[in-house]
Structure 1
Amino acid sequence: MCFLLEASHESCRKKLAMEDGRSFGDCEHCHRATYKDDKANERSSWWGVREERLLQGLSPRHCALSLVGEPIMYPEINTLVDELHHRRISTFLVTNAQFPERIEMLKPVTQLYVSVDAATKDRLKEIDRPLFGDFWERFVDSLKALREKEQRTVYRLTLVKGWNTEDIDAYFNLLDIGKPDFIEIKGVTYCGSSATSKLTMENVPWHSDVKSFSEALAMKSNGEYEVACEHVHSCCVLLAKVDKFKIDGEWFTWIDYEKFHDLVASGNPFSSKDYASPTPTWAVYGADEGGFDPKQSRYRKERHHREKSVTS
């Protein structure tokens, strides 16, 4: 994990800071990709990447403990979390909700997600194909363990059209078990066909479908949760607990990262409300920007496809 090697970043920074025409190889520490630029005055953008963003990327501030395997099974997960926080790197951990005892012993992280891939026992078995015979009991116990956490907690729902988009009542029943701070609802991403997946593009919901599901679930909660944010491009909607994160009619769903690290360093107990930050108007649900920061611009790669030849 090269981001733990401070020397690698210093080496990269020195090379990237060269003012003259440059052509250099990989960093000897972290083996970053080669960058070449023979025009010193045209360093503002390489392949659509802004120089200041590239430099920021060499000093990571956030770490996603997810995607590959089950991170909470790692025996030294608390040691890793401590090391990341010591370097003031935030931690976003996602668990598949099969190891409740590991959730209980986990130290505070910036945000703790539980993947809620289905709302019923039969659906969970069909979608996740769990390894354990008592998978449902493990799942429910994991939600109970999540409820005891003081930091930000999230149910992560992935909607698969034709599979789990009609289970509003069953999902609502799960809310009372874990009482998460947030419910993140997104449409499934189609990654192609395979022998282990029956999904097709027909199973991918539109953003309007995700919005309808989110609004229905919020309404079912009788005011405990409301739809707070959305990101149209990601086909994602966020529900938040009203009593914690809606103050005087304004949402506070964002994170004050510096405050979080200060709270961790203090060694004193703290809660998710202690490092909440105001939500920008462009990120609020229903905003014209649809979750896009108006100060940013999108880079669109030009694609040049060959014309299909017509054969007689």
Structure 2
Amino acid sequence: MYPEINTLVDELHRRQISTFLVTNAQFPEKIEMLRPVTQLYVSVDAATKDSLKAIDRPLFGDFWERFIDSLKALREKQQRTVYRLTLVKGWNTEDIDAYSKLFSVGKPDFVEIKGVTYCGTSATSKLTMENVPWHSDVKAFSEALALRSQGEYEVACEHVHSCCVLLAKIDKFKVNGKWFTWIDYEKFHNLVASRKPFSSVDYMAATPSWAVYGAEEGGFDPGQSRYKKERRHKSSTD
């Protein structure tokens, strides 16, 4: 992690710029010393030691211990915390039970589950389009994972175009049957400026109806214009 990360975070907040930080869960001590950010992600690319080694090809021999310690460090953070899961069909889509066991380690506010994006062939990647899950696959995985949480998490939001689904902690972000998974950025910056302790519930905002899981809009803001490109591929006989 960048050694001057706290200085950078302070400067961004001074300029009223929100901070979304993603870590690969290999530097737990850096997570511990990190000052409050708007949202802190940990990439949970696999749920077992063997699969993590195969997918991430880690640099450190004690990569699994670093991974678990990073999740434990995340648990101590008071601001918004997220497990980020990238689903790769044929690699990690069958590890639902193992993933659910990691919930108790880091106790994240949210679990973001996204299908892998295929970026073409390369010498360093064996992925093909066959490894890219459909949104229906991501939904099925997310629903099964929520069930494994025994009422702690629930599927809250989705964005079909991004092939992404969000689980949220029910006791913190579902108030009187309504989700509050969005961020009040002005309140966050005011809380940072106050220099007083605060938590993720102090700057949560109501989730728009179009972003709630199962909404007809599928996560698309109806106030924005959507453009669909017509693809006219030539057939092999042309």
TM-score by length of 1: 0.74
Structure 1 residue 301 displacement after superposition: 4.7
State yes or no: 1:239 paired with 2:167: yes
Amino acid in the other structure paired with 2:179: W
- Which structure would you say has the larger Rg? 1
| 1:90 aligned counterpart, secondary structure | coil
Q: Distance in 1 between matches of 2:79 and 2:230?
A: 43
Q: 1:285 aligns with which of 204, 213, 229?
A: 213
RMSD: 1.3
Alignment-mate amino acid for residue 132 of structure 1? F
1:119 — aligned with what? 47
User: What secondary structure does 1:183 align onto?
Assistant: strand
2:49 matches 1:103: no
Partner of residue 140 from structure 2, selected from 212, 220, 237: 212
Distance 1:164 1:304 in 2: 34
Secondary structure in 2 matching 1:244 = helix
Q: Report the 3-state secondary structure (helix = DSSP H, G, I; strand = E; otherwise coil) of the residue aligned with 2:19.
A: strand
Q: Residues 98-146 of structure 1, C-alpha deviation per residue, up to 9 Å, x if partnerless?
A: 0000000000000000000000000000000000000000000000000
Shift of 1:275: 0.1
Highest RCO, 1 vs 2 (Cα 8 Å, sep ≥ 6): 2
SS of aligned partner of 2:90: coil
Residue identity (%): 84
Q: Tell me the equivalent position of 2:115.
A: 187
Give runs of ≥4 in structure 1 deviating > 2 Å. 299-305, 307-311
Give the 3-state SS of the residue equivalent to 1:269 in structure 2.
coil
Supply the AA of the counterpart residue of 1:109: V
Write the distance in 2 (CA, Å) between the matches of 1:235 and 1:198.
Answer: 21
- Tell me the amino acid that sits aligned with residue 240 of structure 1: A
Distance 1:303 1:239 in 2: 34
Q: Any idea what SS the aligned residue of 1:131 has?
A: coil
Q: CA deviation at 1:164?
A: 0.4
1:249 matched to 2:177? The reply is: yes
Which of residues 87, 91, 97 is equivalent to 1:169?
97
Residue 3 of structure 2 is aligned to residue 78 of structure 1: no
Q: 1:310 to 1:182 in 2, by over 3 A?
A: closer
Alignment partners' CA distance in 2, 1:92 and 1:302: 34
Structure 1 CA distance, aligned partners of 2:7 and 2:172?
Answer: 30
1:252-281 CA distances to partner (integer Å, 9 max, x unpaired)? 000000000000000000000000000000
Q: Kindly state the Cα deviation for residue 195 of structure 1 after the two structures are TM-superposed.
A: 1.1
| Whole-Å separation in 2 of the counterparts to 1:89 and 1:252 | 21
For 1:117, the aligned partner's letter is: D
Given residue 169 of structure 1, which amino acid in structure 2 is its aligned partner? D
**Is the alpha carbon distance of 1:89 and 1:222 closer, same or farther for their aligned partners in structure 2, counting shifts above 3 Å?**
same
| 2:53 aligned partner, one-letter code | K
In 2: Cα distance, 1:300 partner to 1:259 partner:
36
Q: SS where residue 69 of structure 2 aligns?
A: helix
Q: How many Å apart are 1:297 and its aligned residue?
A: 0.7
Indicate how the Cα distance of structure 1 residues 143 and 302 shifts in structure 2: closer, same or farther if over 3 A, else same.
same
Return the alpha-carbon distance in structure 2 between the equivalents of residues 300 and 222 of structure 1: 40
**Pick aligned residue for 1:294 from 198, 201, 222:** 222
User: How far apart are 1:304 and its partner, in Å?
Assistant: 6.7
The letter of the residue matching 1:237 is V
Q: What's the CA shift for 1:298? A: 1.3
- The answer on 1:274 being equivalent to 2:202 is yes
Structure 2: 5+ residue runs without aligned partners? none
Alignment correspondent of 1:63: none
Counterpart residue identity of residue 92, structure 1: F
Trace 1:22-171 onto structure 2 (pairs within 5 A).
73-171=1-99
TM-score normalised per structure 2: 0.97
Q: CA deviation at 1:196?
A: 1.0
Residues 303 and 212 of structure 1, relative CA distance in 2, 3 Å threshold: closer
Q: Which amino acid aligns with 1:226?
A: E
